[in-house]
């Protein structure tokens, strides 16, 4: 096995407004990847998520090339700026390093089943692309999370079966995770990653027991979360080594169609 093996399928790059986030530049990320044995990453920049559309796609392409093909990227779709976003995504879909689409119903304040998302689902269906979405549980202290609970995605999942959906954060905690697990088991085009602050006891073991291991992706949510937090959970999990290899690398290659070798 090569010394750099892991693929982080959910992380971010660049500063974010009022929050102080250290080590957010591309060189910081590549340095961290080298330290932690990460061969590749799939990232989104904070600016694109906040502003939507193709705000960072040209920069992403340059980062991919500067990283020598190690830092793949997703284009963001904002449902209230659909035309501009689709134009940017269509321009980038054949670029080196383009791996799919990111949506964030909670950040954009548009519920996940809203009709304004239909164009991006149709686009992903037409070109057999992967959509990574923020997903979470209903939250009393963060009410916008209700817009991104996993059940809201079901109609689009059924209508556009050639689009692959990754439920980022595995639906969060509580009922959201239960919904995500149901979605993954009932729909062949739905997957999940466990990026973010989901610090639940034996999470990896529970996921492996409850969903097909081929549908589970490692993600860190860097720089919000240090990649070692979830990386250690997988490496120390009481699951077969073959499952760990799928979670840490092979599933990301297959779901995002990265064209890499095992």
Q: Could you read off the pLDDT of 131-188 as tens digits, one per residue?
A: 999 999 998 889 999 999 999 999 999 999 999 999 999 999 889 999 999 999 999 9
Q: Give tens-digit pLDDT for 215-236.
A: 999 999 998 899 999 999 999 9
Q: Give the pLDDT band (50/70/90) at residue 18.
A: low
Looking up residue 219, the CATH number of its domain turns out to be 3.20.20.140
- For residue 1, tell me if it sits in a domain: no
Residue at 93 is within a domain = yes
* Domain range enclosing 101: 6-255
Number of domains in the chain: 1
Kindly state whether residue 50 falls inside one of the protein's structural domains: yes
- Asked whether residue 261 is domain-assigned, the answer is no
Would 213 be classed as within a structural domain?
yes
Does residue 262 belong to any structural domain of this protein? Answer: no
pLDDT at 50 over 90: no
Cβ-Cβ contacts under 8 Å for 181 (sequence gap 6 or more): 170, 171, 192, 207, 210, 211
**Local confidence band at 54 (pLDDT 50, 70, 90 cut-offs):** low
Indicate whether 137 belongs to any domain: yes
Which residues, other chains included, contact 43 with Cβ-Cβ below 8 Å and sequence gap of 6+?
A: 11, 12, 13, 29, 60, 63, 71, 72, 73, 74
What is the pLDDT, as a whole number, of residue 1? 42
Say if 129 falls within a structural domain: yes
Range picked from 33-37, 186-190, 197-201, 223-227 for highest mean pLDDT: 186-190
Complete DSSP assignment for 220-249? --TTTS-HHHHHHHHHHSSS-HHHHHIIII
Distance, in Å, from the CA atom of 174 to the CA atom of 189, rounded to the nearest integer, reads: 23
Tell me the pLDDT tens digit for each residue of 76-116: 999 999 999 999 999 999 999 999 999 999 999 999 999 99
Average pLDDT over residues 51-62: 79
């Amino acid at each position: 096995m090569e010394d750099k093996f892991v693929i982080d399928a959910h992380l971010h790059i660049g500063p974010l407004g009022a929050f102080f986030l250290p080590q957010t530049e591309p060189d910081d990320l590549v340095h961290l990847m080298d330290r932690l044995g990460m061969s590749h990453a799939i990232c989104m920049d904070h600016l694109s998520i906040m502003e939507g559309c193709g705000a960072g796609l040209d920069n992403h392409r340059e980062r991919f090339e500067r990283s020598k093909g190690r830092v793949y990227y997703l284009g963001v779709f904002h449902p209230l700026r659909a035309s501009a976003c689709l134009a940017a995504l269509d321009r980038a879909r054949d670029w080196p390093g383009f791996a799919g689409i990111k949506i964030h119903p909670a950040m954009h304040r548009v519920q996940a089943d809203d009709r304004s998302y239909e164009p991006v689902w149709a686009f992903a269906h037409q070109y057999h692309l992967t959509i990574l979405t923020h997903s979470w549980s209903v939250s009393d202290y963060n009410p916008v999370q209700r817009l991104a609970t996993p059940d809201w995605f079901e109609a689009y999942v059924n209508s556009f079966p050639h689009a692959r959906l990754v439920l980022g954060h595995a639906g969060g905690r509580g009922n959201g995770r239960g919904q995500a697990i149901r979605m993954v088991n009932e729909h062949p085009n739905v997957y999940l990653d466990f990026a973010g602050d989901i610090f639940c006891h034996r999470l990896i073991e529970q996921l492996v027991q409850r969903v097909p291991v081929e549908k589970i992706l490692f993600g860190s949510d860097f720089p919000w979360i240090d990649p070692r937090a979830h990386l250690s959970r997988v490496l120390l999990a009481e699951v077969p080594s073959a499952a760990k290899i799928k979670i840490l690398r092979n599933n990301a290659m297959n779901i995002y169609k990265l064209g890499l070798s095992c």
